[in-house]
A = this chain, B = another copy of it.
Amino acid sequence: MTVNLPLPQKDQLIPVKGFQMGIAQAGIKKPNRKDLLVMTLAPGSQVAGVFTLNRFCAAPVQLCREHLAGDGSKGEIRALVVNTGNANAGTGAEGMKHALKTCVALAKDLELNPEQILPFSTGVILEPLPIGKIIAALPVAVANLNEDHWFDAAEAIMTTDTQPKAASMTVQTPAGIVTLTGICKGAGMIHPNMATMLGFIATDVGFAAGLLGNLTREVADQSFNAITIDGDTSTNDSFIIMATGQSATQIKSISDPIYGIVRDALIALARKLAQMIVRDGEGATKFITIEVLGGKTEVECRLVAEAVAHSPLVKTAFFASDPNLGRILAAIGYAGIPDLDVSGVQMWLGDVWVAKDGGRNPDYQEADGQRVMQAQEITVKIDLGRGVAQQTMWTCDLSHEYVSINADYRS
């Protein structure tokens, strides 16, 4: 099941100048499927990323962090390599060797240093990476490099995704038109920090040194870190923004008015991609937006949104289209705001005012709640009544299908 998940159209995915993708079938877990992706960046590009906070982060995540933190003496980041079918996580020292070997092999093919490569893996945890298959398939992916391969790239990073996820935007800046195109994958083990297993956005905007790192974190917080499917933070989650700088739009500082235009475009694109992950959430039948306002801080709004979005009881009620809305109040109550005065809490389901001053709204009719719950897209609005901060999260319901998928994932 998916919830209003758009299938990307090949001709709507706009190439980004200076950015190429090549795909191969390495046979990592299953034969005859695209499971290896190489991406290359023209000289002068910039790359920034945010990664899982999981302490059992995968070997490639550790290597990405190292390579991005380098002093540049080995040269800038020029290529990325992604395999599906195996996460290379929980694989100890051997896993690190495999991730490094992948970089070394690709560097040789591309005439780069291994430190110029970022490696990514996604799939099953705790099993050794079939390094031989990957190294054998790398030259095939390199030979396939092309600016037009966004759709195939989106397919090549899928695991339990039911369809590829990709989107493009063009934005007019005072300096001209810029392009942003991104892909992502993920449908389970999805929770903030990071929320997606993998997300990549490329743009032809140019950034002065030092700008892209903070911007990437800001974009992630407003998008991939604001979705949850099952509350499990993966070992491999990574989100990367790559800027080739091959357009006339060059941003020198955050006070540049173009910075805001590009930031908003990146957030819009990243949100669209992140929401695709929720719409393809394992077993999802509903797309749910949780808006929390009236908080003292964004942090406490986030706590409440997460508690509601994460509650199996709330999620099964959405699956059943049952306005068992006390479960949402219970989740607000245990979200972790110790001094929350519940008598100031209001809650709406769609346009229906359900909870008033911490109790059932006397005017609330169950039939109205029932009507809203039938929809495929539902918004829950919660006013904490104690401040002006707000946060929004996106999630899906919890269905039989989620259990089936995760009980069968490896088979």
Interface residues, chain A, with chain B CB atoms under 8 Å away? 52-57, 87, 89-95, 124-128, 188-189, 191, 230-235, 310-313, 316-317, 319-320, 322, 324-327, 329-335, 337-338, 340, 342-343, 345, 354-360, 398-400, 402-404, 406-411
Residue of B nearest to A332 (CB): B56
A54: which of B91, B92, B330, B343 is its contact (CB, 8 Å)? Answer: B330
- Top 4 closest A-B pairs, CB basis? A125-B326, A92-B359, A56-B333, A320-B407
Residue of B nearest to A333 (CB): B56
Pick from A94, A320, A403, A410 the residue with the most CB of B within 10 Å.
A403
Contacting residues, chain B, for A234 (C-beta < 8 A): 330
On whether A312 and B230 interact (CB within 8 A), knowing A325-B126, A355-B126, the answer reads yes
B92 near A343: Cβ-Cβ < 8 Å:
yes
- Expressed in whole angstroms, the Cα–Cα distance for A93 and B357 within the complex equals 9
A185 to chain B, nearest CB (A): 17
A55 near B340: Cβ-Cβ < 8 Å:
yes
A interface secondary structure, majority = loop
A327 near B358: Cβ-Cβ < 8 Å:
no
Residue of B nearest to A316 (CB): B406
Contacting residues, chain B, for A319 (C-beta < 8 A): 403, 407
- Expressed in whole angstroms, the Cα–Cα distance for A357 and B355 within the complex equals 51
A324: which of B52, B402, B409 is its contact (CB, 8 Å)? Answer: B409
Q: Work out how many copies of this chain go into the complex.
A: 2
Name 9 extra pairs, CB < 8 A, besides A87-B326, A232-B311, A235-B333. A56-B333, A91-B359, A93-B359, A124-B326, A126-B329, A233-B334, A316-B403, A317-B407, A322-B409
A359 near B90: Cβ-Cβ < 8 Å:
yes
A-B contact pairs, 17 of them (CB 8 A): A56-B329, A56-B342, A90-B326, A90-B355, A92-B356, A92-B358, A92-B359, A124-B324, A124-B326, A125-B324, A125-B326, A125-B327, A126-B325, A232-B312, A312-B398, A324-B409, A398-B403
A330 to chain B, nearest CB (A): 5
Contacting residues, chain B, for A324 (C-beta < 8 A): 124-125, 409-410
Contacting residues, chain B, for A399 (C-beta < 8 A): 403
B329 near A125: Cβ-Cβ < 8 Å:
yes
B231 near A312: Cβ-Cβ < 8 Å:
yes
A330 near B410: Cβ-Cβ < 8 Å:
no
- Expressed in whole angstroms, the Cα–Cα distance for A106 and B56 within the complex equals 56
Contacting residues, chain B, for A359 (C-beta < 8 A): 90-95, 126
A360 near B189: Cβ-Cβ < 8 Å:
no
